[in-house]
Structure 1
Amino acid sequence: MAVITNLPTDLLRTFIAVVELGGHSKAGALLGRSQPAISLQIRRLEELVRAPLLSQEGRTIQTTSAGEALLSYAREMIRINDEAVSYFHRSDKTGVLRIGLPTDYAVAFLQHAITNFIQKNQDVELEIHCDLSRELHQHLRSDELDVIVAMMPSARMPYLSRAWVEQPIWAAAEGFEDVAHRPVPLGAHPEGCDYRARMIQALDSAERRWRIVYTGPGISGLQNAVLNGLCVTALTRATMLPGMRVLGEGEGFPALEPLRVGLFYKHPRLSVAGLQLVSDLVAGLDSVGSSVRPLHP
């Protein structure tokens, strides 16, 4: 019979803390352990997985290739462990949670998970912050937000829990008629929006002229501008409304590049309530089907 190696959750939790906080001392301060004790736990974990997990360049701690692979597993294992514990410690779920969402996700399926969480956890106060993804990442790094859903400029990013792919589509009013000799009237969020960049890139590649005729930060204003025939824009299926139709390549609107989206949080700093919300959001992601994938190698 093969011998099964168990990875203790306390070692995995320490590993995550060292990586996310950027050092043994900071992880020790958070976990209430000395720096030598943290180093010992990391060495023990390396013995169990039979690979070095961390390397140091100057004062910067980085994961090795093995460490990067383990980090994905460790975050998921600790999340499931903490989800189980929080089920039996439901009375501990109090406090304030600060959630960051791109505008589209404030009205899409993630909103239902957040609403359900509020109904089940009335002692927890949620603060929802909608902004461009680049701003949300900055707010998470500076500890101004606890959990964010945001577009990913690269495949590997700090604090990433889950990633999935969204396919933007061209949306117009049902009665919209494209006039070939006129620039395409675009509606978009402000500069820095990934959807905006995708539209411009696609039209430039097809050598089609365009002009921005509507700019606004909110999704409802953009949807109304489309429904009123003022412009076309890029949406996801979740934000299409009755009265809209999809524009395709046959009408001169080239396919838009997919978007990679991620769920991010700093595990060591998250409360019991925050861990429960993350679990609810992950369940919401898993329910949408095969487009959602866990970040395991």
Structure 2
Amino acid sequence: MALLTNLPTDLLRTFIAVVELGGHSKAGAVLGRSQPAISLQIRRLEDLVRAPLLAQEGRSIHPTQAGEALLSYAREMVRINDEAVRYFHRSDMTGVLRIGLPTDYAVAFLQNSLTNFMRHHPDVDLEIYCDLSRELHQHLRSDDLDIIVATMPTARMPYMSRAWVEQPIWAAAESLALIEGRAVPLGAHLEGCDYRARMIEALDGASRRWRIVYTGPGISGLQNAVLNGLCITALTQATMLPGMRELGEDEGFPKLELLRIGLFYKHPRLSAAGLQLVSDLVASLESVGSGVKTVPNG
């Protein structure tokens, strides 16, 4: 029987840090090692996987195709390792965690996970920031946020831990009577919202007139506008409320394009409390169903 190759987590942790921080010296500063030591660890890891993992382009370092494939495995292996260590050490966790969420996820999808985390870790202060996904990605890149859940404009994005797919649906009040020939009254979040773009694209593709009659940043205000019959909007199944109904193609509302959502964080910069919350969120996502899946990413 052939012996299996073991990939040491310290080498994987170094590889993740070099990719996410953009260089050997920056990774060494975070991990407490010299630049030559970091380079040696990367070479050891390349020897184990029998492939070059990093490529230099000018002053920038990028993962090779093999490096991109390994990065997804490495992040998960290191996360599970850290989760096991935290379980057995049972150390007290303190500090501040800054979480970025689209409004509908803050209200409906991750609320229980965040509430349970606060209950079990009272010494950790959570700061929740709700905004458009494009803004959340920017705040993560600039280290203004620690963990974000956000839509993905492309299939491959930095700092991604998990990705899943959501099907937006047309929502209207049960009592709303649509008048043939009139422009569809739309309710939407602010310009730049992915749901807003999908509604407009679908109606334009079906040659249906529309007009924006309600705009607001919060999900509750949008839900109330729909329930009161002011407008029609796109929601997910989780944010549909009693008193709403789904509009289908038989009523002239074409199926909306799928949304790709991701969980993102910078592993080298995340505290023990942050890694624990990531594990809790991953468990929450996996309990939702088969729509949640890991996607290889660099």
Q: TM over 0.5, yes or no?
A: yes
- Confirm or deny: 8 A CA contact 1:160 1:263 kept in the other structure: yes
| Cα shift at 1:296 | 4.4
Specify the SS of the correspondent of 1:47.
helix
- Describe the superposition over 1:5-44 as per-residue Cα deviations: whole angstroms up to 9, x where unpaired: 0000000000000000000000001001010100000000
Amino acid in structure 2 at the alignment position of 1:121:
H
Alignment of structure 1 residues 193-208 onto 2, 5 Å: 193-208=193-208
Structure 2 gaps of 5+ residues are none
| Cα shift at 1:89 | 3.0
| Cα shift at 1:59 | 0.5
Structure 1 gaps of 5+ residues are none
- Describe the superposition over 1:218-272 as per-residue Cα deviations: whole angstroms up to 9, x where unpaired: 0000000000000000000000000000000000000000000000000000000
Report the Cα distance in structure 1 between the residues aligned to 2:78 and 2:284, rounded to whole angstroms: 19
Root-mean-square deviation (CA, aligned residues, Å) is: 0.8
Equivalent residue pairs, number: 297
Specify the SS of the correspondent of 2:275.
helix
Report the Cα distance in structure 2 between the residues aligned to 1:261 and 1:217, rounded to whole angstroms: 19
Identity of aligned residues (%): 81
Corresponding residue for 2:221?
A: 221
Report the Cα distance in structure 2 between the residues aligned to 1:249 and 1:53, rounded to whole angstroms: 48
Report the Cα distance in structure 2 between the residues aligned to 1:195 and 1:126, rounded to whole angstroms: 27
- Confirm or deny: 8 A CA contact 1:92 1:272 kept in the other structure: no
Specify the SS of the correspondent of 1:15.
helix
| Cα shift at 1:91 | 2.6
- Confirm or deny: 8 A CA contact 1:24 1:38 kept in the other structure: yes
Amino acid in structure 2 at the alignment position of 1:194:
D
Q: Return structure 1 stretches of 4+ with deviation > 3 angstroms.
A: none
Deviates more, 1:86-95 or 1:257-266: 86-95
Corresponding residue for 1:166?
A: 166
Taking structure 2 as the reference length, the TM-score comes to 0.98
- Confirm or deny: 8 A CA contact 1:188 1:216 kept in the other structure: yes
2:109 counterpart of 1:126: no
Specify the SS of the correspondent of 1:181.
coil
Taking structure 1 as the reference length, the TM-score comes to 0.99
